[in-house]
Chain A
Amino acid sequence: MAIPGRSRPATAAFYAAVAVIVVYTVFPFYWAVNSSLQTPQELFDVTWFPFSFSFGNYAHVFDGQPFGRNILNSVFVAVLTVGISLALSLTAAHALARVRFRGRGLLLLAILSVSMFPQVAVLGGMYELIRSLGLYNSLYGLVLSYMIFTLPFTVWVLTTFLRELPRELEDAAIMDGAGPWTTLTRVFLPLMGPALVTTGLLAFIAAWNEFLFALTFTLSDSQRTVPVAIANFSGASQFELPWGNIMAASVIVTVPLIVLVLVFQRRIVSGLTAGAVKG
């Protein structure tokens, strides 16, 4: 179908550009899937299609290293991090969005600047903190340290969302004698489902993908999260990385994320833009 007001060649060029963009963005993932389904022999020859459809690499991922455990670790850390962040930011966002008080602008600016903080900037102090709390090489240490990037984000996005709810809702609740807690839980919370899902999903992805803290604050293979496990995959020798296994592991941890992102794509786009554009 031609775009109205444009000539046929222009339309063709436009769709060619779209095709190039799609290939550019999707190809690396296709290549990982392709490589993960090949036998080691096929991998030594650039093959564009996995003719053998061998699932050997997927089986290998789970023996020789606790990769199943690593996945559970990642799920545990990400779910706990998101749950705590949302709970803490719900009341905070209510205060920041619905009450005018001295220092609110400054507080929001401080929260925004923490979210743009380089993680390395706190690495020494965080190491010391986690050590002194006895949380080194523990998943709870990761949950604690991940608050530094999930919490500012969830507070910021939920504040943006709560600000846009009509004032009349709150006024009606106050007329009926409801305090802020009742207003939040009975009036606003039921309306916040979509915002909580989007914010939680984005925070989940951030926690799931985190690498620096997980690499630094855990030591044993059984406490590793998925990104660290994949980064540390090693073969018989240093020069002989098991690429088939690495690609299989990459596909295993990426497919759920891609499915989630595609299912929630509209909400994710609005969540991302709420986090940034309105700053």
Chain B
Amino acid sequence: MVAGGSSARVRAAAPPSSHHRRRVRRAWLFLAPMLVVLSLVAGWPLARTVALSLTDATLNTLDEANFVGVANYLAYGPPLDAFDPDAGAYYLYDAEHDRHFVLDAQTGRLTDETDRDHPIVYDRVDGDYVHAETGEPAPGIADPLFQWSGVLADRLWWRAVANTLVFAIASVSLEVILGVAIALALNAGLQARGLLRAAVLIPWAIPTVVSAKMWGWMYHDSFGVMNDILLGLGVISEGLAWTADPHLAMAAVVFVDVWKTTPFLALLVLAALQMLPGECYEAARVDGVHPVTVFWRVTLPLIKPALVVAIIFRTLDALRIFDLIYVLTANTEATMTMSVYARQELIDFQNVGAGSAASTLLVFVIALVTVFYLMAGRVRLGAD
């Protein structure tokens, strides 16, 4: 960031005057309305989402939610759907050994009721089950009855994490390559620059939902122009279901995202290219250095800082993708991302606790990726 300049540094060295203190007080006054609104719409909901992720809240019982610890993230115990609230107990079945059990939710006592006339009772002592009468340990008795639950134990969540990472890596890499290529073209072709800049701004200006619909129509399996062109060229022998086929859906989504966001990247890179000193290129041209070598040895190192910032922004954007995937491919497993998963839990399944847990995990993943980037790129954001 560009700091206040040399005069500001001189000021800072001087002892704080009463005039300066008054200025600072007024500055906070100027900041106050924005800070209040931002805390209300960002800080508070974020804190509440984390808090809700530790409760059993549903959409209709937001006010009377109970604290359940980290159970929405990961828990090991009897399956929740085996709970009978009237009896206050879980009715469990061990399919492997064909045995029926009752687990008292209050006492934690486990009763083997396979033989109704001779129930065998186990007590829970220090986390292990022992025979209530003999005191003999019964290792592993509960293992077939219990299961892992919570977002982290949900196969679909991990699928969503994998999908999101695949999407982010594929789309951002393609966007960087194409974006740099378009930026180089914009920087070189003086006559075509206006036209090209206007053309690349069009995908950027179109709302995501609208572009998802436009591409959905182009991808249409029977009447879409995509299949028509590919059939005409003989690339495919029959129309493909681009958005419905699990093998194609992710590629279809990446293709639309690349189309929509490459312009943004190209413009950022172009801004960086236009700030480069001309002398290096003049010298390289005089020395007869090959243009490709010039790109790798001169241009790329010089635009690297701007490129790294653009890549961070695009990656963070790709990791939270929702609109495009929700509209183009709905809630299919092949393309479900973390955001789609979290919203589905929260709104469609009305499971606010689990949905909030997924949201919180998404923030955690994004924070991890950001830290990784900042360390790898040695970027100092917000350094004053």
Q: A interface vs B, CB < 8 Å?
A: 1, 3, 14-15, 17-18, 21-22, 24-26, 28-29, 31-32, 35, 43-46, 88-89, 91-92, 94-96, 98-101, 104-109, 111-112, 114, 116-129, 131, 144-145, 147-148, 151-152, 155, 160, 163-164, 167, 179-180, 205, 208-209, 211-212, 216, 226-228, 230-231, 243, 246-247, 250, 253-254, 257-258, 260-262, 265, 268-269, 272-273, 276-279
Shortest Cβ gap from B194 to chain A (Å): 9
Set A3, A43, A121, A208: member contacting B359, Cβ < 8 A: A121
Shortest Cβ gap from A113 to chain B (Å): 8
Measured between alpha carbons, how far is A242 from B267 in the docked complex, in Å?
36
Measured between alpha carbons, how far is A167 from B339 in the docked complex, in Å?
45
B41 contacts A155, CB within 8 Å? no
Query: Contact string, B316-328, partner A, CB cutoff 8 A, digits 1/0?
Result: 1101101100110
**Count the A-B residue pairs with Cβ separation under 8 angstroms: how many?**
308
A216 contacts B185, CB within 8 Å? no
Set A91, A273, A279: member contacting B381, Cβ < 8 A: A279
Set B33, B201, B320: member contacting A118, Cβ < 8 A: B320
Nearest A residue to B208 by beta-carbon distance? A209
Main DSSP-derived SS at the B contact region: helix
Measured between alpha carbons, how far is A14 from B186 in the docked complex, in Å?
11
Measured between alpha carbons, how far is A45 from B222 in the docked complex, in Å?
9
Q: B interface vs A, CB < 8 Å?
A: 1-2, 4-5, 7-8, 11-12, 23-24, 26-28, 30-31, 33-35, 37-38, 40-42, 44-49, 51-53, 57, 59, 62, 182, 185, 188-192, 195-215, 217-218, 220, 222-225, 228, 259, 263-264, 267-268, 271-272, 306, 309-310, 313, 316-317, 319-320, 322-323, 326-327, 338-339, 342-343, 346-347, 352, 355-356, 359-360, 362-363, 366, 370, 381-384
B188 contacts A250, CB within 8 Å? no
B31 contacts A91, CB within 8 Å? yes
Residues of A within 8 A of B347 (CB): 123, 216
A254 contacts B362, CB within 8 Å? no
Query: Given A123-B346, A250-B214, A276-B310: A118 and B23 within 8 A (CB)?
Result: no
Set B1, B201, B208: member contacting A279, Cβ < 8 A: B1
Query: Given A104-B384, A118-B363: A21 and B182 within 8 A (CB)?
Result: yes
B346 contacts A124, CB within 8 Å? yes
Residues of B within 8 A of A122 (CB): 42, 45-46, 49, 359
B48 contacts A124, CB within 8 Å? yes
Measured between alpha carbons, how far is A120 from B319 in the docked complex, in Å?
11
Measured between alpha carbons, how far is A52 from B370 in the docked complex, in Å?
52
Nearest A residue to B204 by beta-carbon distance? A261
Set B1, B211, B264: member contacting A278, Cβ < 8 A: B1
A209 contacts B346, CB within 8 Å? no
Measured between alpha carbons, how far is A123 from B338 in the docked complex, in Å?
13
